[in-house]
Structure 1
């Protein structure tokens, strides 16, 4: 089996995920994982699949024929197991430019790897101003305490709320 990582972007429309999953299935592929979103009228997704080596060429051709989508396929030549030292972080605050830059720069300075990131902006109930929320899964070095990370992130701005919790089902050492 070949392990493939696929990025997909195109105008969002009904049945798009069905077409992707049907293409994987028609080429004896196994859908391993995905993250898909609707952003500004566009469908944006990334997925992992296993496809038999004999089907890879035909699978690539079939994917390239999916109408209205820009698709990029990479072969993962060395399967990397997920990290075991994950920590979930939620950052919430009044929306303003630079929050993601400030937080990711601070995390990078501490030697922390961002394993997953999801963000959203929405109106605050009863207030009407936008609230920004970012959900991270972080791979924190064993030598670094969560309290140290929390203190550094809280020093970025008074209006940021920093919440840590261990992800369910993941053993943290």
Structure 2
């Protein structure tokens, strides 16, 4: 499939927030690729949230490692006064059993809320990941509108992050959205691109749509 050139709509006064390199590279980590997992490996999706403090990442990663498991993917961030962690963890049945026990002990000792769910590798799909970068004055319904746009076309949002911040110089409250959308090869990309930017124009959103680096 030939990928059309990305279209850019640069916001006035360069109000788009700088995106750290680590966050940009994180876009492509869990998209169309199912991941390098072994057939005998058991996977767990682990979530943990609790009051932010130094050492939370160490505590949880230590529990995973000492149980004999390994971290395949992770997302960690502060949400107000709370700290949230999402991890995809792999190990054999014995290691997974140890992890369940140690996670329960850590939850009781620290007050973290920890959830473990059985997971499986993502099936391989014939899709191209696209980066969507949107910035606008903050108002209600931004995420809802964008998610409805892609859902109504049967497109999967693989990753998304949002941020509210003050614009430099003016101090206006801005809202930015970065997401990765998996676009099947059967989708006519030129038409999707035109529909997306027409939507952004109607909603007064400054947007970038470009293929993700893989």
Q: TM-score, normalised by structure 1?
A: 0.90
Residue equivalent to 1:161: 206
Higher share in strand: 1
CA offsets 1:90-143 (integer angstroms, 9 cap, x no match): 111111010000110011111110000111111111111111111111011223
Relative contact order, higher structure (CA 8 A, sep 6+): 2
Which structure 1 residue ranges, 4+ long, deviate > 6 Å from structure 2? none
Select 2:103's aligned residue among 55, 59, 63. 63
Out of 170, 173, 178, the residue aligned to residue 135 of structure 1 is 178
The unaligned stretches of length 5 or more in structure 2 are: 1-40
The alpha-carbon deviation at position 58 of structure 1 amounts to 2.1
Deviation at 1:147, TM superposition (A): 3.6
* Number of residue pairs matched by the alignment: 168
TM-score using structure 2 length: 0.73
Q: If each structure's helix is expressed as a fraction of its own residues, which one has the higher value? A: 2
Computed over aligned residues only, the root mean square deviation of the Cα atoms, in angstroms, reads 1.6
Residue segments in structure 1 that go unaligned for 5+ positions in a row: none
CA contact (8 A) 1:28 1:51 kept: yes
Alignment of structure 1 residues 100-119 onto 2, 5 Å = 100-119=143-162
1:13-162 to 2 correspondence within 5 Å?
A: 13-66=53-106, 67-76=110-119, 78-81=120-123, 83=125, 84-156=127-199, 157-162=202-207
Query: 2: CA distance between counterparts of 1:146 and 1:128?
Result: 37
Shift of 1:167: 1.4
